[in-house]
Structure 1
Amino acid sequence: MKKLILLLLLIYPMTAVAETYEWVDERGTVNFAEDLGKVPKKYRKKAKRLGSDEPPAEIAPPAAVPDTAKPKGVEEKVEKKSYGGKDELAWRREFLQANSNLQSAQTELDTLKARLSDTSSMSRSEYLIIQNSIKHAEARVQALQKKLDQLNASADRYEVPAEFRK
């Protein structure tokens, strides 16, 4: 029974796509956030993205126009273009997450199929469990592909540029 449970845990690895940031405040308390925007400004430079050696991407303030370019007393409004109520960053994140989820599911499916290539040392129950897992993984890949297709259709409807879909 323990082998079966261990096998099931190995078959369905939990994958996380979300980024998590960690920082220590002035009291020495370790804090976590799923979005760099939720990290207080004074700790953003010290925040670490968990699971990565890369420093976190900076949240850039709107581009400043040199004072000489603006007439005095006139403030310039920086408008972010919106596509269907979402800005560029939201579209990029959605596509990144959808593509990442699909790639992860496809990798899991490929791994399961590879495990069936040598069934000589496998019991009948292990073989059946893997076959059943393959069916579930195929269904998951199809569902994620459908979700990505719907996202692409929505992006087409709102004329989202192709460079946001990478």
Structure 2
Amino acid sequence: MRAVLGMAMVLALAAPIGAETYSWVDDTGTYNFTEEYSRVPKKYRKKVNRLGDQPSELAAPSAATEAAGKHAPGTANSGGEQAAAGGAAVPLFGGRSEEVWRREKGQREAELSRLEGVLDLLNKQAATPRGMTRTRLDELVKEYDETRATYTQKYEEYSQFLDSARKAGLTVEMKK
């Protein structure tokens, strides 16, 4: 029993006291967090916030924007929005703007379409084996199987991405 109490005391004393968490929004609109200021990329250090605090001295808005009651461009405000360069608030969904979500969705759909095209081409080539060696036909089948596996993996990732977007509050349609 004493050993358990002793271990509990050691662990309690070893817990970080007054640890801070730093957050910042990167160029893609993604929120990032760390407990070590040194891990904040240098280009974002002027925009870093201490979690649970008002913006830190490092991220304090200028007197002009403070007097106007606005946040510095590119910093998150309390309403789940990000101030754009023009001062208009951009709503955030899971820490990202709708534009960032839509751009990534488009990239994922383009990759799926590309893989579908490769699968169609391989299927057509394998369907007309005239003049093709057995070795080449086997290579086509193997390439088709590998591409199909990649497509299945990418489609699963795409489905998970859409679920995340929906949970963040966006209305998105699945690629057919």
- 1:160 pairs with 2:170: yes
Pick the aligned partner of 2:93 from 55, 63, 83. Answer: 83
Return the match for 2:160 from 128, 150, 155: 150
Q: Which residue number corresponds to residue 106 of structure 1?
A: 116
Aligned match of 1:93:
103
| 1:1-166 matched pairs, under 5 angstroms | 77-162=87-172
Identity in percent = 21
Higher relative strand content: 2
Q: Secondary structure at the match of 2:91?
A: coil
1:78 alignment partner AA: A
Q: What TM-score, normalized by structure 2, do the two folds share?
A: 0.49
Answer with 1 or 2: which has the greater Rg: 2
Ranges in structure 1 where 5+ consecutive residues have no aligned partner: 1-34, 36-72
RMSD: 2.3
* SS of structure 1 residue aligned to 2:143: helix
- Name structure 2 gaps, 5 residues minimum: 1-26, 28-66, 71-86
Structure number with greater CO (CA < 8 Å, separation at least 6) is 1
Runs of 4+ in 1 over 6 A off after TM superposition: none
Between Structure 1 and Structure 2, how many residues are aligned? 93
